[in-house]
Amino acid sequence: MQGRATAKYIRITPRKVRLVVDAIRGKSVKEAEDLLRFLARGASAPVGKVLGSAKANAVNNFNLLEDRLVVAEAFVDAGPTLKRMMPRARGRGDIIKKRTSHITIVVAEGETAPAGRRGRRGQ
């Protein structure tokens, strides 16, 4: 059993959010919360909210032990892109792409992953 939480349409680019999510993947929930609290990234606040929601779902819905929870999966998908126009010289216009993200975090009971193998890319 595992607790899962998703935040959709977050107004931060997926590339920036992936930097934060890659840092917490495979860690214990307590360690991940501490890391997010002191990480100097704008995406750490929404990722922290999703992690807290996944933890609460695991504890309240599946009666998992909070001390043994580990970030089993954490990934970021691209949401819809908002396209805006920026006026440029000689009557032209450039498109400004305002990207959005969908953040998904899954927590489960278990041991933390070894340092060398974390997430999809580390395999």
What pLDDT score was predicted for residue 14? 98
Q: What is the pTM of this model?
A: 0.86
C-alpha of 51 from chain center: 8
C-alpha closest to that of 77 among 37, 32, 34, 120: 120
C-alpha closest to that of 55 among 94, 93, 5, 123: 5
User: Residue 89: CB partners within 8 Å, gap ≥ 6?
Assistant: none
Domains of the chain listed by start with CATH number: 2-109 (3.90.470.10)
Residue pLDDT, tens place only, 30-79: 999 999 999 999 999 999 999 999 999 999 999 999 999 999 999 999 99
- Model confidence at 123, pLDDT cuts 50, 70, 90, reads very low
Sequential DSSP letters for 51-67: HHHHHHHHHHHH---GG
The vertex-7 CA angle with 2 and 12, nearest 5°, equals 135
3 state SS of 117: coil
